[in-house]
Every structure is written in structure tokens, then in C-alpha cells.
Structure 1
Amino acid sequence: MGEFRGVVGPYWSLRSVVGGVEWEAEPERVRIATPAERLRANARSSGELL
């Protein structure tokens, strides 16, 4: 799961919600995370287990 950071040519630049190195993705392969996916990612970033 990544946070949108901007546009780099034909790609979108994304970065992990907990920081780290950005990566590029084709916009047609990106989708909005489901509520369950966001909950799991938030739990992992704070060290919790779901």
C-alpha cells in the first residue's frame, strides 16, 4: 500500500504510508485501498496485529 506522492512522466510516484523509498506505478494498476486494507496497514505501522 502506498501514498500518492506525485506524477513522474507516465507513472505515479508512491511511498509506503510508514515512509521509506518511493516507487513508481502505472496509474491503471493503482486502486484505492479498501477500508479493511487501510485498517491492516495502520495496525502494522503501529506494531499491532489484526
Structure 2
Amino acid sequence: MKILVLNSGSSSIKFKLYTVNLENDQFSALCEGQADRIGIAGST
């Protein structure tokens, strides 16, 4: 199973994708990232 966690702020968003092994209740991060300065002039 995979779980996506999102954290959104006023001008940023962060995410982390986990994979979960249901047989032994272990999880590990597959990837993570962020976007900053959303909606602010001069941002790309």
C-alpha cells in the first residue's frame, strides 16, 4: 500500500510518499518534495 501525505500552507505545499508493508507494519519513505512561494509575484 502507498500513502501520500500533504501539508499545505498559505504559500507552500509539501508532500511525502510512503510505502507500507501490511504484513509486518513497517513503512518507508519513497519520495518527498515541496513547492514554495505559490501565488507570490516572481515565483515560478
TM-score bracket, normalised by the shorter chain, equals under 0.3
Question: Which structure has the higher relative contact order (CA within 8 Å, separation 6+)?
Answer: 2
Structure richer in helix, relative to its length: 1
Q: Taking structure 1 as the reference length, what is the TM-score of the superposition?
A: 0.27
Bigger radius of gyration among the two: 2
TM-score by length of 2: 0.28
